[in-house]
Structure 1
Amino acid sequence: MDETPLPEVTEQFARTLTPEPDGIVAEMDERADREGFPTVGPAVGAWLRLLARLTDAERVFEFGSGYGYSAYWMAPALPADGELVLTEVDADELDAAREYFRRGGYADRAVFEHGDAVDVVDRYDGPFDVVLVDNEKERYTEAFEAVREKVPVGGVVAADNAVEAAPLDFADVRALLAGESVEASDASRGVAAYLKRVRDDPDFETGLLPLGEGVAVSVRVA
């Protein structure tokens, strides 16, 4: 589409404020560029770390972790006895995440779960102070429902790709949120349904972080 929902200048400026990435993050960024792998990028990664710090996070859960990029950004914000649960259906990517965490010195606080994240989260008791939703777009609402009761007051649920993604059409998402009838992809419908769900939930307040591909940040208030 011709419209650019998130201006590149915002992303570029935000990167000037991010912590200096260590060698592992730099290696992950190079891999993403080389393979065309969709990570959240350093600007969003730094914000995820900040969210973990602001919530004094001790436990984090990710719906979809790839090779551990976003999780690695959050790891320094957790205490050594904290728990960061990574989930991934691709065993090779999960093995890569495990190796990055080992080399970076954060394996002591990471749990690597191979399988469907929605199934995995059912095996865990709460609370989770920060949750990142980054699995299949059409299953975002399913992920939220699976983890909602495990998020304490003051906890955060962040959903990536709230504005942009390869199968996502921003105009369609806006139209669906406005109640219009449009022919939209499953991904667009999934993200729109998620945004409506968290927007209308009286126990959460939601705002948009306009970085990367857009992150919907929902804070539990009741």
Structure 2
Amino acid sequence: MKPRPSIYIPELESYIDSSLVYKPNPIFLEMEAYAKEKNIPIVTAATGSVLSHLVSLLSPSQVLELGTGLGYSTLWMAVGSPNSKFLTVDRHEEQASLLDEYAKKMGIWEQIHVKRITASVMEFLADRRDLWVGADLFFVDCDKITYPEIFRILWAEAKPGSSFLFDNMLWHGRVLHPDPKKPSDLAVMSLWDEVKSQVSRYTLYPVGDGLLFFQKDKK
């Protein structure tokens, strides 16, 4: 039997993001251009679309996002579920504040419920448990080195039935051959080990850099 040919061929992902993903607001294009110009990492348009779709189906009351960036993923989710309350955390205030500007340009600032907090993700989780422990959905897209510890904290403290999304779980393909000298490679592989050993069911969406979804069992 011949090996299945991979869809990961040059330029396909760019074509998907530019030509095949439905974007509900043209400001997303502006954000993509700005991120490229300033070399700011954001999720791909395909990932944003999947996030928006999943959140629309889950309809969470409260979403905690760890890693705001410039608000690209936040706004995709907010468009998908405008009645949800979003709390997004990032230590870079100037960059994260662009979220507010883009939401106003989109004309949705008054309709969505987004609160930004400027803080270290790990310090926020330790010091402000009262703000996040009741969340229904957690989206994690911050420093990969912190992924295993974030999982352990959230998995232990989150309420039963909560949903989780972790981005970059293919880690630019390095999950195939992780470099034992790179802490980020080891952290992503460690998170995979944690999920496989503790989560009953999970789904990897192979969009962008790999979006992992799972839920905490209801008691």
CA distances 1:100-134 after superposition (whole Å, capped 9, x unpaired): 22333236400100011232234214332221111
Deviation at 1:213, TM superposition (A): 0.9
Cα RMSD, aligned residues only: 2.5
Deviation at 1:161, TM superposition (A): 1.0
- Measured in 1, the distance between the counterparts of 2:61 and 2:15 equals 30
1:42-121 equivalences under 5 Å are: 42-80=45-83, 82-104=84-106, 105-106=108-109, 108-121=112-125
2:167 equivalent among 160, 165, 173:
160
| Structure 1: 5+ residue stretches without partners | 174-181
| Structure 2: 5+ residue stretches without partners | 1-5
- Measured in 2, the distance between the counterparts of 1:71 and 1:132 equals 9
What is the identity percentage for the equivalent residue pairs of Structure 1 and Structure 2? 22
Change (3 A) 1:117 1:19: same
Deviation at 1:13, TM superposition (A): 4.4
- Measured in 2, the distance between the counterparts of 1:114 and 1:161 equals 22
Preserved CA contact (<8 Å) 1:11 1:43: no
User: Counterpart amino acid of 1:194?
Assistant: L
1:210 maps onto 2:218 in alignment: no
- Measured in 1, the distance between the counterparts of 2:150 and 2:103 equals 25
CA distances 1:133-188 after superposition (whole Å, capped 9, x unpaired): 111111001112222232541x32111111124xx733334xxxxxxxx6331000
Change (3 A) 1:188 1:171: same
User: Counterpart amino acid of 2:208?
Assistant: G
User: Number of residue pairs matched?
Assistant: 206
- Measured in 2, the distance between the counterparts of 1:32 and 1:218 equals 28
Normalised to the residue count of structure 1, the TM-score between the two structures is 0.81
Normalised to the residue count of structure 2, the TM-score between the two structures is 0.82
Residue of structure 2 in register with 1:199 after alignment = 196
Where 1:147 maps in the other structure, the secondary structure is helix
User: Counterpart amino acid of 2:174?
Assistant: D
Where 1:143 maps in the other structure, the secondary structure is helix
1:138 equivalent among 120, 137, 145:
145
